[in-house]
Structure 1
Amino acid sequence: MLVSLDLSISEIIGIISTSAVFLLVIANLVSRRRRGQIQDGSGRAVLITGCDSGFGHHLARHLDTQGFVVFAGCLFPEGAGAQSLSRESSSNLKILKLDVTSDDDVQQAKRIVQDNLPEKGLWAVVNNAGISDWAEIEWSTIEDFRHMVDVNLFGCIRTSIAFLPMVRASKGRMVYVSSIFAFFSCLNMGAYSVSKRGLEAFADCLRVEMASFGVEVSIIQPGNFGQATNIVRMKMAQDIWTKLDEEHKQMFNQSYIELANDYFTSTCKAGFKNADSVVDAMVHAITSPRPKYRYLLVSTTDMFFFKAFPYLPTFLADAVFSLSPMYNKRKAMLYSQ
């Protein structure tokens, strides 16, 4: 009581307001509507983008075995990946031509899905289609950034806006495949990070809006799955060198570019060799009564680091890179120019 007398009216109001907000947040989390686990997908449809290969390809196969009607969006419907899906799946799996950068493709896919919906409607959209590339920012052009963002960000937005009314009607799920590079600002991944950070901002905003309609929104954050998906574009150091103008050739010597290329290639080869953990996370996001907001998928030894990294002060997050032998070699090689 003596303590309370020392507080001003504004301080007391502030404490009460803060407490009220805290209690409302807790109440909202506790009262999240619990739905039963989906044991099988009978009567429900799922649209997956980027099913030619990688995560989308594996997820389409898995959901088909669970009885879902799967609309597998493929960039190349006549290609080997799409054709193997068609051959090895049930009649419930339907291949769609779907380039997520094309308004016409997305609208055509929407019409096909609407005309072939099972009785329980479109339960989930998995925004999986994406591309990856690596380069330092000064090795990139505005077209490199534009292409990356058009697929990884605007492609997801375009698809989401088209299919949200159907998912909202079923009170279903929206799933977005992001990356640890959405928050981990690594060397050589500038354009990719920009696209994935934008994607997460979009998904976060959508989650808040869709909560009113009972639609769950989840973000998948894979780590190094380059070998499991073949998403990483491999290239030769000479490819990078010939692309540079004379000014940048003076700044970034060829020896450093060869070192960076070797380092990046070896890093990719050290990653996960199969996509099982990512597919399991996607399935959980689609079928669980309480899907997670985010699924961080890295090795057990890396989990603590990547959990903590987004909360580090900026000067500490930047200082992490000074511990990297590659970063120090880069600094020495370029400083000597």
Structure 2
Amino acid sequence: MALYHIYLLAYSTITLLFSGVALSRYLRHELELNLPSVLLLLLPMILQPLSQFILGGILGLIVFATACYYIFNNLPQGYLPVKEKAVLITGCDTGFGHGAAKHLDALGFYVFAGCLKKGGDGEQALVSECSNRLVTLQLDVTSDDQVKAALEVVKQHLTNKELWGLVNNAGVCIMVETEVCSLDMFQKLWEINCLGQVRMVKAFLPLLRRFKGRIVNVTSLCAQLYTPSLPAYCSSKAAAAMFTDVLRNEVKKWGINVSSIEPAGFKTAATTSGLMQQTITDMKERLPAELRPIYGDHYFNVMQSRLYKENDPRLETDLTSVYHAITHALLARRSKTRYVCGYFAPVLAWMFNHLPNPVLDFIASFSGTLVTKADIVPNGNKKSQTSTKNAAVKQD
């Protein structure tokens, strides 16, 4: 009987906490009161007896607490008005940045769309398909001069508007192993994926501080998921993710919210363009002489075959979840610190945060990016294996 009262007290405490925190958020206008939100608020009252009397014990308590946490995080949010708000987005030539620029323009934002190629197809598409509120900028996030020039253009166009948001989206991805990847390529990815975000934040923080705006950094689920053959990409995105977490705590005192968007595998120009193919070709041509006996033609052919294809089933084609996450980060009265985007992304994120490394290594061994010994020297080709070993001995 004593145990029953302990469980009953635990259920009552969880219910009161849920109701109290939900009420406080509503009073701060952070929740939107409508039929879906009312139904979600009533759901714990139905789940409590089901968990308590059907599942029972500690299992029922865990299920009930988890359900309340999930319901609370998915309550309909109250949104801020878009009126007179401006947002700057980097990497708008293609992919997430291009789509987000169109999406935010349709919502009524004044959009500054930074494009790497001024006059390119992506920039022309934005000009022709969006409203006159959208302004395109020549913007290479690795160039101090172009970032400073973009800052001056934004200042000239703001007038009575506020720079409410900075969306650091520009990024690039390559697939090649550490030993084969040149140091220059590592530096390029770090410059774009991480230092580019730092450069943009340092330039535009004074404007954002004036209006207590939002910073949204697009990182990647690969910041958590170590993926074979993506060392430069994973490390640069992990650095960007950590920078975002540190920045969020630093700028709280100015009333600035900082969020990170962590997409999984989506079909964009970064994943399906010819850049990856060209990079592997360049790495093959620039391979140091001492590595050529080890990494032969077969290795590079295998790497080419494992790149993402146009209709690759590993990639999601609908980018809507990313646009909605960016919108929520910019406009929700209580934005989230982290948005994981993709069908299976939450499951993958949970696995890599909770499972031990030996299990994760085993899972990684089934990924299409892992290179095995057979990928370097074809299986069954003893002559090739012998010649490779002899060549390696000669190099030694």
Query: Does the alignment reach a TM-score above 0.5?
Result: yes
Query: Do the aligned residues in 1 keep the contact of 2:227 with 2:369 (CA within 8 Å)?
Result: no
Q: Compare CA radii of gyration and give the structure with the larger one.
A: 2
The structure 2 residue matched to 1:256, chosen from 283, 296, 299, is: 299
Per-residue deviation, 1:179: 0.8
Q: Partner letter of residue 315 of structure 1?
A: P
Per-residue deviation, 1:188: 1.0
Q: Which residue is equivalent to 1:316? A: 359
The structure 2 residue matched to 1:172, chosen from 209, 213, 236, is: 213
Superposition map of 1:149-168 within 5 A: 149-168=190-209
Per-residue deviation, 1:230: 4.2
Structure 1 SS opposite 2:251:
helix
Per-residue deviation, 1:310: 2.5
Task: Work out the CA distance in 2 between the residues paired with 1:324 and 1:65.
Answer: 38
The structure 2 residue matched to 1:137, chosen from 166, 178, 183, is: 178
Q: Which string of whole-angstrom CA distances, capped at 9 and with x for unpartnered residues, describes residues 212-248 of structure 1? A: 22211111111111x2344453316655433323322
Query: Do the aligned residues in 2 keep the contact of 1:228 with 1:274 (CA within 8 Å)?
Result: no
Q: Which residue is equivalent to 2:336? A: 292
Aligned length: 308
The structure 2 residue matched to 1:273, chosen from 288, 310, 317, is: 317
1:247 matches 2:290: yes
Q: Partner letter of residue 304 of structure 1?
A: V
Q: Which string of whole-angstrom CA distances, capped at 9 and with x for unpartnered residues, describes residues 101-135 of structure 1? A: 11111111111111221534110000011111111
Q: Partner letter of residue 228 of structure 1?
A: T
Q: Partner letter of residue 312 of structure 1?
A: L
Note closer, same or farther for the CA distance 1:323–1:49 as it changes in structure 2 (3 Å cut).
closer
Q: Which residue is equivalent to 1:207? A: 248
Task: Work out the CA distance in 1 between the residues paired with 2:214 and 2:229.
Answer: 33
Q: Which string of whole-angstrom CA distances, capped at 9 and with x for unpartnered residues, describes residues 67-117 of structure 1? A: 111111111121111111112211111111111111111111111111221
Per-residue deviation, 1:283: 1.0
Note closer, same or farther for the CA distance 1:247–1:34 as it changes in structure 2 (3 Å cut).
farther
Q: Which residue is equivalent to 1:24? A: none
Note closer, same or farther for the CA distance 1:238–1:106 as it changes in structure 2 (3 Å cut).
closer
Per-residue deviation, 1:299: 1.7
1:66 matches 2:113: no
1:218 matches 2:262: no
Per-residue deviation, 1:139: 1.1
Structure 2 SS opposite 1:251:
coil
Q: Partner letter of residue 294 of structure 1?
A: R
Task: Work out the CA distance in 2 between the residues paired with 1:256 and 1:188.
Answer: 12
Task: Work out the CA distance in 1 between the residues paired with 2:101 and 2:152.
Answer: 20
Note closer, same or farther for the CA distance 1:325–1:82 as it changes in structure 2 (3 Å cut).
closer
The structure 1 residue matched to 2:268, chosen from 219, 225, 228, is: 228
Q: Which residue is equivalent to 1:7? A: none
Note closer, same or farther for the CA distance 1:274–1:63 as it changes in structure 2 (3 Å cut).
same
Note closer, same or farther for the CA distance 1:171–1:31 as it changes in structure 2 (3 Å cut).
farther
Superposition map of 1:84-99 within 5 A: 84-99=125-140
Task: Work out the CA distance in 1 between the residues paired with 2:369 and 2:169.
Answer: 31
Percent identity between the two aligned chains: 35
Q: Which moved more, 1:264-273 or 1:194-203?
A: 264-273
Structure 1 SS opposite 2:92:
coil
Query: Do the aligned residues in 2 keep the contact of 1:44 with 1:119 (CA within 8 Å)?
Result: no
Q: Which runs of 4+ in 1 moved over 6 A?
A: 30-33
Query: Do the aligned residues in 2 keep the contact of 1:168 with 1:214 (CA within 8 Å)?
Result: yes
After TM superposition, the score normalised by the length of structure 2 is 0.71
Per-residue deviation, 1:287: 1.1
The structure 1 residue matched to 2:187, chosen from 122, 128, 146, is: 146
Q: Which residue is equivalent to 1:330? A: 372
Q: Partner letter of residue 110 of structure 1?
A: L
Q: Partner letter of residue 323 of structure 2?
A: V
Q: Which moved more, 1:200-209 or 1:87-96?
A: 87-96
Q: Which residue is equivalent to 1:121? A: 162
Query: Do the aligned residues in 1 keep the contact of 2:116 with 2:139 (CA within 8 Å)?
Result: yes
Q: Which moved more, 1:281-290 or 1:252-261?
A: 252-261
Q: Partner letter of residue 178 of structure 1?
A: T
Note closer, same or farther for the CA distance 1:333–1:35 as it changes in structure 2 (3 Å cut).
closer
Per-residue deviation, 1:307: 2.0
Q: Which residue is equivalent to 1:194? A: 235
Q: Partner letter of residue 331 of structure 2?
A: T
Q: Which residue is equivalent to 2:34? A: none
Note closer, same or farther for the CA distance 1:83–1:182 as it changes in structure 2 (3 Å cut).
same
